[in-house]
């Protein structure tokens, strides 16, 4: 029997198709750029050169660190609040009746529309970005936590209660393992939302961050740098998603099928 930690090799055709899907958009872009010879449609080499120059000047790393710091702080706050809300609603029918309509009514509201209000309350700087990221990312985490805790098998809850372990021990031994896969799914959904919200908020009115760098490059008519930053954001998103998948394999090891 294959061990849990051993990964099954992907078929060569699957690997080839994955690589093709990754490379093809860049090939099409380069062909289009070579055909147009337009300043607003830079070649891949020009995009890489613009990123390299920004990195050598330090501007790219500084603004990237600002964006990641504020975005991750907002995500952490969303995890704390979302897990607490989801757990509370799953454990109490009364809290579910009170909070569920509020979450359902506020979820469709674009939190970016609250940016002027966030500036008035929290002032300029990093805090409005953190708050808006937290508000937008909280919902998928809260809903997935609620579903995970609520779907805990009743027979396991009864067995844990009969063992006289106490409510806290029952929650930690039964509800947490049951809810953890859903929580990790909610976190995986929240990460791209985190990046989008942080960058858009920085584009709206911040004076630093990758969103600001994109906006500044647009004003200076430097499309190569703007597109380079956008590509960098895609790389960051893929890297964070990979880290969450690896963390899920470690934390939710009992759901990993043999051979995977």
Residue bearing the bigger pLDDT, 166 or 150: 150
CA 121 to chain CA centroid, Å, is 25
Q: Taking 90 as the threshold, does the pLDDT of residue 67 lie above it? A: yes
Give yes or no for residue 3 having a pLDDT over 50.
Answer: no
DSSP 165: -
Neighbouring residues of 26: CB distance < 8 A, sequence distance ≥ 6: 44
Q: What is the pLDDT of residue 5?
A: 44
pLDDT at 84 over 60: yes
Average pLDDT of the chain, as a whole number: 86
Percent helix / strand / coil, the chain, rounded to 5: 80, 0, 20
**Mean pLDDT on 173-179:** 75
Q: 103, 139 in Cβ contact below 8 A?
A: yes
Residue 219, both tokens = 């004003």
As a whole-number percent, the residues of the chain with pLDDT over 70 amount to: 86
DSSP string, 96-123: HHHHHHHHHHHTTS-GGGGHHHHHHHH-
* Across 32-46, 61-75, 112-126, 152-166, least confident range: 152-166
DSSP 170-233: HIIIIIHHHHHHHHHHHHHHHHHHHHHHHHHHHHHH-SSSHHHHHHHHHHTT-HHHHHHHHHHH
All structural domains of the chain, each given as residue ranges with its CATH number in brackets, are 66-252 (1.10.3720.10)
What is the reported pLDDT for 65? 95
pTM: 0.84
pLDDT of residue 230 exceeding 90: yes
pLDDT of residue 8: 57
Who wins on pLDDT, 37 or 74? 74
Tens digits of per-residue pLDDT, 142-165? 999 999 888 877 766 666 666 666
Q: pLDDT tens digit string along 19-47? A: 888 888 888 888 988 888 888 889 989 99
183 has a pLDDT exceeding 50: yes
């Amino acid at each position: 029997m294959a061990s849990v930690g051993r990964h099954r090799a992907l078929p060569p055709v699957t690997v080839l198709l994955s690589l093709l899907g990754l490379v093809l958009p860049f090939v099409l872009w380069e062909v289009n750029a070579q055909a147009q010879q337009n300043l607003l449609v830079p070649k891949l080499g020009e995009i890489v050169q613009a990123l390299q120059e920004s990195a050598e000047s330090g501007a790219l790393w500084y603004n990237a660190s600002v964006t990641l710091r504020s975005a991750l702080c907002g995500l952490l706050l969303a995890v704390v609040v979302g897990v607490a809300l989801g757990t509370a609603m799953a454990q109490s029918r009364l809290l579910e009746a009170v909070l569920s309509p509020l979450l359902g009514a506020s979820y469709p509201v674009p939190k970016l529309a609250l940016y002027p209000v966030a500036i008035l309350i929290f002032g300029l700087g990093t805090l409005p970005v953190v708050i808006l990221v937290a508000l937008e990312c909280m919902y998928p985490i809260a809903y997935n936590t609620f579903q995970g805790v609520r779907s805990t098998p009743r027979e396991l809850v009864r067995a844990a209660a009969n063992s006289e372990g106490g409510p806290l021990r029952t929650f930690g031994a039964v509800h947490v393992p049951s809810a953890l896969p859903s929580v990790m799914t909610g976190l995986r959904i929240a990460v791209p939302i985190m990046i989008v919200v942080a960058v858009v908020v920085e584009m709206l009115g911040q004076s630093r961050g990758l969103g600001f760098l994109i906006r500044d490059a647009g004003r200076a008519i430097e499309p190569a740098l703007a597109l380079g930053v956008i590509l960098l954001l895609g790389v960051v998103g893929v890297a964070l998603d990979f880290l969450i998948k690896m963390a899920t394999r470690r934390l939710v090891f009992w759901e990993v099928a043999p051979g995977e």
